[in-house]
Amino acid sequence: MQKQTDYADAVKTKYPEQIVIAVAKDKTGRANPITLGWTMLASGTPPMMAISVAKTHYSIQTIRFSECFTISFPSADMAAQALLFGSKSGSDTGKFAESECKTEPAKQIDSLLLSDAVANFECTLVSETDAGDHIIFLGKIIAAHKNTEPKKRLYTIGPNHQLGKTT
């Protein structure tokens, strides 16, 4: 049985929510990471992923400028980095310089991979779609990488950015 309620109430049932970290370089060449919960696999053939970024975020400019970005699946031990990348703006902060996050160059695009992530995907920008207060960027995956060690993914497990792993 279902009871009608408003969107804000019903959407609170969404947890756990996967987290990704997207990285794109700005026009000065600085790589800017952003933490995102609103993301999806969008196509299998060819492989594509989509991310939804608020119009006010600096990442809008970096992705439009680079026309490419990486998507990482952070591991459960990357919660502090995900919170830093998800609370500071690249418009005034070099987020990688402030963090302990280990990176390595992407192989096919001008961006960075997160060395301790569960997996990383290199994407070229295919399109963007206006989605209210967000822009949905669709990326075609042209290279993929996975960690050589078994690692658990990081999720948002409750409101107010409570991060953790699922069982």
Ligand X SMILES: Cc1cc2nc3c(=O)[nH]c(=O)nc-3n(C[C@H](O)[C@H](O)[C@H](O)COP(=O)(O)O)c2cc1C
Q: Which stretch binds ligand X (CB under 6 A): 8-16, 56-64, 124-132, 143-151?
A: 56-64
Q: Is 155:77 a contact under the CB 8 Å cutoff?
A: no
Q: Given candidates 52, 67, 110, 142, which one binds ligand X under the rule CB under 6 A?
A: 52
**Count of alpha carbons within 13 Å of 2, Cβ hemisphere only?**
4
Task: Tell me the window of 1-9, 48-56, 112-120, 121-129 that interacts with ligand X (CB under 6 A).
Answer: 48-56
Nearer to ligand X, 34 or 119 (CB): 34
Instruction: Report the SS3 class of residue 134.
Output: strand
Does position 129 bind ligand X by CB under 6 A? no
Between strands 112-114 and 162-164, the pairing is unpaired
Listed ranges 31-39, 97-105, 117-125, 139-147: which one lies at the site for ligand X (CB under 6 A): 31-39
Output b/e per residue, 92-115; b: 16+ Cβ within 10 A.
eeebbeebebebeebeebebbbbe
- In three-state secondary structure terms, 137 is strand
Tell me: does residue 87 bind ligand X (CB under 6 A). Answer: yes
99, 9 Cβ separation under 8 angstroms: no
Q: 3-state class of 67 per DSSP?
A: coil
If binding is defined by CB under 6 A, does position 37 make contact with ligand X? yes
The residue sitting closest to ligand X, measured at its beta carbon, is: 86
**Candidate list 32, 70, 72, 120; residue touching ligand X; CB under 6 A:** 32
User: Which residue stretch of 6-14, 27-35, 69-77, 100-108 sits at the interface with ligand X (rule: CB under 6 A)?
Assistant: 27-35
The binding site for ligand X (CB under 6 A) comprises 19, 32, 34-38, 52-54, 57-59, 83, 86-90, 134, 156, 161
